[in-house]
Structure 1
Amino acid sequence: MLKLIERANNFKENIAIKSGGYSYTYQALLNRSESIAVELLAGKKDLEEERVTFLVDPSFKYTSIQWGIWRAGGIAVPLCVKHPLASIEYVLDDTKTSILIYGKEYKSLIAPLLNRKDIRFIKAESFENIFGILPDIEIERRAMIIYTSGTTGAPKGVVSTHKNIETQITGLTNFWEWTENDHILNVLPMHHVHGIINVLSCALWSGACCEFLIKFSPKDIFEIFKKQEINLFMAVPTIYFKLIAYWDNLSTLEQNKVSLALKNFRLMVSGSAALPLSVHEKWKRISHHVLLERYGMTEMGMAISNPYKGDRIPGSIGKPLKGITVRLVDENNKIVEPGEAGEIQVKGDNVFKEYWNKPEATKDTFTSNGWFKTGDIAVLDNGNYKILGRNSIDIIKSGGYKISALEIEEVLRLHQDIKDCAVIGLPDEEWGETIAASLVLKNANLSFDNLNYWLKGKLPGYKIPRKYIVQSDLPRNVMGKVTKNELKNLFNVDIL
């Protein structure tokens, strides 16, 4: 039996999942996932890595289906509930899925697919309470395929084994000191490693409780917090930004109630995108907590983290987790000196097995001696890693300089009339790239000439944007990350 599922037997009476107003024990999760596994097998002894996709809201239902797929020997392929039919169909075809499990709320979305003969369709609500013999699953077997956002082409399926997943879970549960007394609120998408591994799987490994909130609502989140049952929270910077904005509009009495509840948390984490310093400072004022920043990717789970105990440096992602090796290298894969910028490369059992059916892409993302090339640029400063940006996205090469877009964004957010921003590099014949910024303004009368004058006191001249556009909001994917390639297209027609 897989260790994640085997450990559930130690916590049978504990509440594993809270969702939809109901509480479910680990025993209920074991029973339900066994029934699902038996029905998926349909008389077979083992699914033998058949791909099973599922389109289900975050819930006990989602969790038991995920476990059921694993217990039957299948590869779990979670689908994004916000994706259009074309994106769903792409995943079905790319994985050559044999089974699609869907919640009743998504029947109309997938209706055009239901006549396909190559896929067995199962309503998530239709599983019966049946029990039977399940296969013994080896830890080296493929367990899950999560699709990347596809910012540089068609999305790629990241294949993780059960060993990869177990390593990712134990690295975090040990470092962040999870226990069965923990209770976490999960508001993250469940087709992404952040929600699946960092929150749900870490909680279930530990015998803790994972509570789901299906639809994001700052009001509902704060109401749950005020019950003072939750003691962990993990989110992306966009969520913290929205929570801060909602808190700012509460009465002083309500603000104090929320802040009192937050003060009693033991850990709050931010990840999946760079945390603006302004958000970091405002959340500290509201919650009395210094957000823990960490670094990871779909391909490897988490690899680097600020300390659970000890000083956390804003803008830093900390040190490598135990059992994970990290290095910074230049364009020739030569290790750079401390203080010099280099690409983050990682080795460890946390690193994924392959991109699904893409051997060349898999080969290209590893060095000849097995280092995973993340494409992220960082610098090592006093033993801590600091992200400078994404290679070719956040690193702008202009006039011979390598410029961090994230650094410029951080400065722009300090301006009193700027609510949010994103900085990109645009192709330029003379400079290689020219710096451009998209702004979300608090004051629509902001003058770009005045802004540039203000920036001259904050940044050297070669780091000041040459082009601007103003938007009501920045384009983002479902994880809240700004889609900078989309921004580049906007500049082609809307340059100011």
Structure 2
Amino acid sequence: MMTESFSWFPSLEERGSATALIDREQSISYDALNQSVDRVIAGLLNAADSLDEERVAFLYPASFDYAALIIGVVAAGGIAVPLSVHASADELSHCLSVAGVKRLLLPDALRTPALDTVCDQLGVAQLSVEALPDADRPSALPLKAEQGALIVFTSGTTGKPKAVVHTVESVSAMITSLIEAWGWLETDHIPLFLPLHHVHGIVNILLCALWRGASVDLHARFDAERICSNVALGRYSVFMAVPTIYVKLIAHIKTLEHDRQTQVTQGFARMRLNVSGSAACPVPLFEEWEGLTSQRFLERYGMTELGMALSNPYRGDRRPGHVGQPLPGVKIKRVDESGNDILDDATPGELAVKSQTAFREYWGNVTSTDRAFADGWFLTGDIAVIDEGAYRILGRASIDIIKSGGFKLSALEIEATLLEHPNVSEVAVIGVPDHEWGELVACALVLHEQVSQESLIEWARERMSAYKVPRKWHFTDALPRNALGKVTKPSLRSWF
């Protein structure tokens, strides 16, 4: 492990007057962003030498202040704790409590009586960036590679969110790995509308772009009309989103008049890269997007604890339903339930990862941290096979692998098949306990048009083995999802 001083965002001084961030009609240069970062550092330290891994939380939407905080907190020796602006008071209470936060920065507009009560109970001081003390920035900020830099909470799909601690080294490795693998350029321009309390928005877009010296177009929320207008103007060179966003974009594009539709689809076609991630991309969506825009998604695989670990190639064949090969500096193997290495590509196994991008610990949770590693390998909980050299994720070991009648079934594989039905819009498959079979396959569906359960069963039996066809069915108007579009499968169990 490195212990020397670490260079943190050299682009802030190197890119000068180049545009760093755009927020509607306002823009900020790298020089101006650097000055904002310096003000954050000075105000947080207030004449101290270092924050010594103080967890500093902030509740800001995509904005100039957010960018200054995510960089400035770390530069001052603290651990940045970005929180969701859409979180409830109870959810914020959990995050603030677990991380041991004493200072929460937020704009006055986001202060609420419920949050005031939470902060009073936890002894958390609330203040805005403007309210930070006016102080001098230290001339030297010696960062160490091993010191904490960022806490991101897990998505909570398998239990209460855990506080994942990344170091200066692991965050830097995440960024530089993706810059190399995905060919980031200083001239790149990318929109950011994803949540800024998850790795996808924080690292893959914002920090990668700013580290490379590119430009980021900030959006407080996803607006298909505004995004498509900018795309038609040729404003973006890179686009990253979750599958649900691409579904919304396709639906919006189809409402446009022919000439306008052509402008938008050609705008996407001119980009050098479209990335889909954070949830599995259904093959029909992959193919429909390519048909509209000529863009083949670059799909990748990552986790809060790792950043990105696998990726389809930037240059080379991108296979739908697959997440490619290990990124630079990442080692991956697959293990069985006993921890033994699996050498046969076709045999499903849990992904185990070694990488400089791996997290340091779950804050305040030694037991979970110890359980997460085996001989230095992080156990992801995700099951995969290797198909002609490319990894294919079958699902979470605990959620997406259904053990029924002696078979191990992939929920994601069954979902992908059901999505081929012309009337199925969304689907989630889970296993529900059964005395005879161990688990039964159950599915929740959102339909374009009404269709009977019997006809769906008959259709499914023609396309998959009988033991994979769902035994329980639930029809709904919408599936429960988290901020990144992932279905919160544990909440589906009560439906069956």
- TM-score w.r.t. the length of structure 1 is 0.96
Following superposition of structure 1 onto structure 2, how do residues 277-356 of structure 1 map, counting pairs within 5 Å?
277-336=283-342, 337-356=344-363
Q: Equivalents in 2 of 1:288, 1:125: separation in Å?
A: 46
- Counterpart amino acid of 1:475? P
SS at match of 1:184: strand
Following superposition of structure 1 onto structure 2, how do residues 166-245 of structure 1 map, counting pairs within 5 Å?
166-245=172-251
Q: How far off its partner does 1:317 sit?
A: 0.3
Note if contact 1:4-1:204 (Cα within 8 Å) is conserved in structure 2. Answer: no
Note if contact 1:186-1:210 (Cα within 8 Å) is conserved in structure 2. Answer: yes
1:15 and 2:19 are equivalent in the alignment:
yes
| Number of the residue aligned with 2:386 | 380
Q: How far off its partner does 1:426 sit?
A: 0.5
Deviations 1:321-348 (A, max 9, x none): 1111000111111121111110001001
SS at match of 2:123: coil
| Number of the residue aligned with 2:261 | 255
Instruction: Pick one of 396, 404, 424 that aligns with 1:390.
Output: 396
| Number of the residue aligned with 1:110 | 115
Instruction: Pick one of 146, 152, 174 that aligns with 2:152.
Output: 146
Residue 441 and residue 329 in structure 1: after superposition, are their counterparts in 2 closer, same or farther (change >3 A)? Answer: same
1:161 and 2:167 are equivalent in the alignment:
yes
| Number of the residue aligned with 1:479 | 484
Q: Equivalents in 2 of 1:390, 1:177: separation in Å?
A: 30
| Number of the residue aligned with 1:37 | 41
Q: Equivalents in 1 of 2:133, 2:55: separation in Å?
A: 21
Q: How far off its partner does 1:447 sit?
A: 1.1
SS at match of 1:5: coil
Q: Equivalents in 2 of 1:309, 1:199: separation in Å?
A: 19
| Number of the residue aligned with 2:271 | 265
Q: Equivalents in 2 of 1:453, 1:373: separation in Å?
A: 39
Instruction: Pick one of 447, 450, 455 that aligns with 1:450.
Output: 455
- Counterpart amino acid of 1:384? A
Matched residue pairs, number?
A: 489
The alignment's C-alpha RMSD in Å is 1.4
- Counterpart amino acid of 1:4? W
| Number of the residue aligned with 1:464 | 469
Q: How far off its partner does 1:114 sit?
A: 5.4
Q: How far off its partner does 1:20 sit?
A: 4.0
Q: How far off its partner does 1:4 sit?
A: 3.4
Residue 395 and residue 255 in structure 1: after superposition, are their counterparts in 2 closer, same or farther (change >3 A)? Answer: same
Moved more, 148-157 or 409-418: 148-157
Moved more, 7-16 or 392-401: 7-16
| Number of the residue aligned with 1:358 | 365
- Counterpart amino acid of 1:344? L
SS at match of 1:332: coil
Deviations 1:274-331 (A, max 9, x none): 0011111111112110000000000000011000001101011000011110001111
Note if contact 1:104-1:124 (Cα within 8 Å) is conserved in structure 2. Answer: no
Q: How far off its partner does 1:389 sit?
A: 0.8
- Counterpart amino acid of 1:316? H
Deviations 1:397-422 (A, max 9, x none): 11111111111111111111211111
Note if contact 2:190-2:236 (Cα within 8 Å) is conserved in structure 1. Answer: yes
Q: How far off its partner does 1:443 sit?
A: 1.4
| Number of the residue aligned with 2:78 | 74
Deviations 1:204-242 (A, max 9, x none): 111101111111111111112122121101111111111
1:421 and 2:420 are equivalent in the alignment:
no
- Counterpart amino acid of 1:447? S
Q: Equivalents in 2 of 1:378, 1:115: separation in Å?
A: 46
Q: Equivalents in 1 of 2:74, 2:413: separation in Å?
A: 42
Q: How far off its partner does 1:115 sit?
A: 4.1
Instruction: Pick one of 120, 128, 131 that aligns with 1:126.
Output: 131
Q: How far off its partner does 1:122 sit?
A: 1.3
SS at match of 2:166: strand
Q: Equivalents in 2 of 1:164, 1:115: separation in Å?
A: 34
Q: Equivalents in 2 of 1:130, 1:256: separation in Å?
A: 53
Q: How far off its partner does 1:91 sit?
A: 1.3
Deviations 1:187-214 (A, max 9, x none): 1100000011100111011110111111
Q: Equivalents in 2 of 1:64, 1:435: separation in Å?
A: 48
- Counterpart amino acid of 1:141? Q
Q: Which runs of 5+ in 1 are unaligned?
A: 492-496
1:89 and 2:93 are equivalent in the alignment:
yes
Identity %: 41
Q: How far off its partner does 1:53 sit?
A: 0.3
Q: Equivalents in 1 of 2:115, 2:476: separation in Å?
A: 33
Q: How far off its partner does 1:113 sit?
A: 4.0
Q: Equivalents in 1 of 2:178, 2:230: separation in Å?
A: 25
Note if contact 1:57-1:103 (Cα within 8 Å) is conserved in structure 2. Answer: no
Q: Equivalents in 2 of 1:322, 1:407: separation in Å?
A: 28
Q: How far off its partner does 1:52 sit?
A: 0.3
Q: Equivalents in 1 of 2:88, 2:124: separation in Å?
A: 19
| Number of the residue aligned with 1:494 | none
Deviations 1:327-370 (A, max 9, x none): 01111111211111100010011110000011110000101x11
Q: Equivalents in 2 of 1:148, 1:25: separation in Å?
A: 33
Moved more, 230-239 or 64-73: 64-73
Q: How far off its partner does 1:6 sit?
A: 2.4
Note if contact 1:272-1:295 (Cα within 8 Å) is conserved in structure 2. Answer: yes
Q: Which runs of 5+ in 2 are unaligned?
A: none
- Counterpart amino acid of 1:343? E
Q: How far off its partner does 1:75 sit?
A: 0.5
- TM-score w.r.t. the length of structure 2 is 0.96
Note if contact 1:425-1:434 (Cα within 8 Å) is conserved in structure 2. Answer: yes
Deviations 1:157-215 (A, max 9, x none): 00000000011111100011111011111111000000111001110111101111111
